Structure 1
């Protein structure tokens, strides 16, 4: 069995990989987060949770909490809604943007699937013209390839 060299990842690297690295830890002014140790201003989930806790349990105002934790008031309200809906996991940042295909749904996607002949190459550029003619939609060829699950070559 070959020797494996274990590389210890820094907490900042792990937070970045998980998408939970606070982009502005220097804006967190709560003294608990300045002392080091348990409270880490780089951990956005921990920062948001403590901000929500301070308003809920310690009766801090939303404005004070937003200022102390370096976020806007709309961000506070969004964090509270996310927490109310999904608990702690709701505070984990999500990828932004559409979830799944948004141009190619329903009739357009069904039409596309009808056009595909098994064993023949998919000609996405030709399909864009057909979609434009039939549905009046301008669709990029790569959008068609993604919708049909075709891997990009090159």
Structure 2
């Protein structure tokens, strides 16, 4: 069985989540004729696309097409760059950004249940969230949400 040789740069780009899924779509001359410019490097491609419009006066449609993107993708990249500079062009980590299921109302209910019965485990509280709110949450998610909640919370007034 032969082991396929992977390009170390390609592996590095993949690990950093900046491997361009469509390098063949990049038609910009500098990416075709240079070793420095690498169409596989999504961050470099996006930056050069933005630079082409900003500093060389290319139209958005022309630059987007030349660099293998749609116009909406150009606008998204420009907005990300304006907001965060070059790091703003990096892809965001996949997955939820916050505890989206465990709203303040749910957390309040779980805290009140735990205060009423301190022997309740996180699994018990997850079951309570399912019974009362129809939410399927992992017990560890309950633990993390409760740990983030301020200890000196005010009990809701009725």
Q: Give your verdict on TM over 0.5.
A: yes
**Which residue, out of 23, 26, 37, partners 1:25?**
23
The alignment's C-alpha RMSD in Å is: 2.4
Post-superposition, which runs of at least 4 consecutive aligned residues in structure 1 deviate over 4 A? 117-120
1:101–1:147 CA contact under 8 A, matched in 2? no
Q: Which runs of 5+ in 2 are unaligned?
A: 1-6, 146-158
Q: What corresponds to 1:127 in structure 2?
A: 128
- Cα drift, residue 96 of structure 1: 4.6
TM-score (norm 1): 0.77
TM-score (norm 2): 0.76
Alpha carbons of 1:118 and 1:19: their partners in 2 closer, same or farther (altered >3 Å)?
farther
Alpha carbons of 1:102 and 1:81: their partners in 2 closer, same or farther (altered >3 Å)?
same
The number of equivalent residue pairs is 137
CA displacement, residues 31-85 of structure 1 (integer Å, 9 cap, x when unaligned): 1111241101111110000000001111111111111000110000010011111
SS at match of 1:140: coil
Q: Which runs of 5+ in 1 are unaligned?
A: 1-8, 133-137
Q: What corresponds to 1:77 in structure 2?
A: 75
